[in-house]
């Protein structure tokens, strides 16, 4: 699965984009976050304030309880500050 | 006839007056045009630039979704949304929304709605670069922006 | 610093984009610019022109009074009001209001307020000239316009 | 006193502007309207729908019960339709 990070989430993880293998027991967005936190200290630090992080699956905003389904890309970022 | 919004995400500046003219050219059904321009502000003189990061693809898609919600909700004759990314110095344009309609109330409300939802839903993030050279910091989302967006629920 | 509104009553067309630029030129304290353009509309294709009669002197004075009320009520950095008179064919501009502020809510509300009060208080009257050559008729005031203006009392 | 008419009030009276002598017993805007109606049939016709007519004294909107004071100009017109 393709994973993208933006703004301070990107800076903390240290990469813009990565491709990961999703283990079979990872069903929801929340499961995916738990899995990403296990990948490295940087990932764990990036997701420390988990409530402050928004998620998009295939470029659509979703909540953490949503199933990954057959989404090809997940993106993690802070609340938006455009406009 | 269904209105198709014009949505652009670009590094270059935009010309708000020219974009407005595009919505009225050779038409006689537009009675009201409401334009919103958001600019990079720096009253304190401490900012060298705002840097706007965005999620390419999703930025355009989400702006188009918000624009289509406005088109479903108000009787518009046209709608334009332009959002810049990259480094933007104080005094320069960041975002443009133009709503055209037969009537002024629809044009005002649609432009206002667009800005409220764009602020809370379009995937853009602002980083402040300071004149002093101190470490750049990410702008924090304002809870007031969520309140503004919530105004449009059940109204 | 008190803001002085720019108010003009003229036969000539205006350039909304250029007027907007005047409010931001060499400034870094403007974060939001809301422009309203009202145009002569003719969906039915029966109108040859609207003729706008005005009360010279009072038109400028009343627009200035309304503009100053907006300046008292919202923290604006600038305010421009241009109203045309004379014969205006379908598709052409009639009126322009631009409100500039640090924040978008103030700019939106001030422009909206200006238009509501301008409609009910500025001494302009529209007469419709028809393509058919039938007798021209005066446009009647809409009670909805009074309702719109009443929105701003006690809010 | 200088009297001005606009839009259909002007068309019905038949003049844009006229100067009149204000009799001593004419104190308020309503008195002035009653006086103007006595001047000609056109004036009477113009002010027939009296409720539909707005008044400005020296370029300020006023209600009919307002005193003329030392105003130099009164203007009569239908509800505004600008914008």
B44 and C CB contact within 8 Å: no
Contact A64, A28 (CB under 8 A): yes
Q: What domain count does chain D have?
A: 1
| CATH number of the domain where residue A70 is located | 3.10.20.30
Is residue C155 situated within a structural domain?
no
Locate B110 and state its tokens. 């649609």
Strands of the sheet containing D73-77, edge to edge, are D17-19, D2-5, D73-77, D54-57, D60-62
Question: Looking at the predicted structure, is the pLDDT value of residue B1 above 80?
Answer: no
Under 8 Å CB-to-CB from C91, ≥6 apart: which residues?
B24, B26, B27, B28, B30, C39, C40, C42
Coil, strand, or helix at residue C129?
strand
Q: What is the pLDDT of residue A9?
A: 98
Q: Looking at the partner chain, which of A4, A56, A80 has a beta carbon nearest the beta carbon of B125?
A: A80
User: Which phi and psi angles does C17 have, rounded to 5°?
Assistant: -65, -40
Q: Of C27, C41, C105, which is closest to B91 when you measure between CB atoms?
A: C27
| Owning domain of residue C28 | 6-150
Only one residue has tokens 């992080």, namely A53
A–D contact (≥3 CB pairs within 8 Å)?
no
pLDDT at C147: 87
Angle, CA B147 vertex, CA B41 and CA B20 arms, to 5°: 50
| Residue C54 domain flag | yes
Q: Is residue A33 part of a domain?
A: yes
Write out chain B residues lying below 8 Å of A59, CB-based.
55, 57-58, 61-62
Total domains, chain B: 1
Distance from CA of D80 to the nearest CA of C (A): 6
Does the pTM surpass 0.90? The reply is yes
How close, in Å, is residue B26 to chain A by CA atoms? 30
Mean local confidence (pLDDT), C54-71: 98
Closest by Cβ to C20, choosing from B16, B45, B115: B16
Q: In which domain, by residue range, is A22 found?
A: 2-77
Q: Residue C135 burial by CB count (10 A; 0-12/13-18/19+): exposed, middle or buried?
A: exposed
Distance CA C93, CA C54 (A): 16
What ipTM is given for this predicted complex? Answer: 0.94
pLDDT surpassing 60 at residue C155? no
Half-sphere exposure of B142 (CA within 13 A, CB side): 11
Interval A15-35 mean pLDDT: 97
Per the domain annotation, does B155 fall within a domain?
Answer: no
CA distance D71 to D1: 8
Which chain D residues are within 8 Å of C120, Cβ to Cβ? 79-80
Report whether pLDDT(B2) > 90. no
The pLDDT of residue B155 is above 60: no
CA distance B83 to C60: 36
Cα separation, C91 vs C39, in Å, equals 6
| A83 domain-assigned | no
Residue at D59 is within a domain: yes
D72 in contact with C, Cβ within 8 Å: no
Domain-located, residue A6: yes
Question: Would B115 be classed as within a structural domain?
Answer: yes
- Which pLDDT band holds residue B143 (cuts at 50, 70, 90)? confident
CATH label of the domain that carries residue B69:
3.90.1170.40
Question: What subunits touch chain C, counting only 3 or more CB pairs under 8 A?
Answer: B, D
| C9-32 residue pLDDT tens | 999 999 999 999 999 999 999 999
What's B88's DSSP letter? E
The pLDDT value given to residue C1? 63
Q: What's the token pair of residue B80? A: 């334009």
- Distance, in Å, from the CA atom of B107 to the CA atom of C146, rounded to the nearest integer, reads 19
Mean pLDDT of B31-55: 96
Residues C122 and C66: their CA atoms lie apart, in Å, by 9
């Amino acid at each position: 699965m393709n994973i993208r990070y933006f703004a301070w989430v990107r800076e903390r993880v240290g990469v813009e984009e990565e491709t990961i293998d999703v283990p079979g027991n990872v069903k929801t967005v929340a499961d995916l976050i738990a899995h990403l936190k296990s990948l490295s200290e940087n990932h764990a630090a990036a997701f420390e304030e988990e409530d402050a992080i928004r998620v998009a699956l295939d470029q659509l905003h979703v909540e953490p309880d949503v199933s990954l389904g057959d989404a090809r890309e997940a993106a993690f970022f802070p609340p938006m500050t455009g406009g | 006839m269904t209105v198709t919004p014009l949505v652009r995400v670009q590094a270059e500046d935009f010309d708000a007056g020219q974009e407005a003219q595009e919505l009225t050219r050779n038409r006689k059904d537009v009675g009201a045009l409401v334009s919103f321009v958001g600019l990079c502000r720096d009253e304190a003189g401490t900012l060298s630039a705002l840097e706007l990061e965005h999620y390419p693809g999703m930025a355009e898609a989400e702006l188009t979704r918000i624009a289509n919600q406005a088109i479903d909700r108000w009787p518009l004759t046209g709608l334009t949304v332009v959002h810049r990314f990259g480094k933007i110095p104080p005094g320069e344009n960041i975002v443009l929304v133009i709503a055209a309609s037969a009537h002024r109330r629809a044009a005002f409300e649609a432009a206002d709605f667009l800005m409220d939802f764009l602020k809370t839903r379009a995937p853009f993030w602002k980083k402040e670069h300071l004149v002093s050279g101190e470490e750049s910091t990410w702008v924090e989302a304002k809870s007031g922006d969520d309140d503004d967006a919530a105004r449009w629920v059940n109204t």
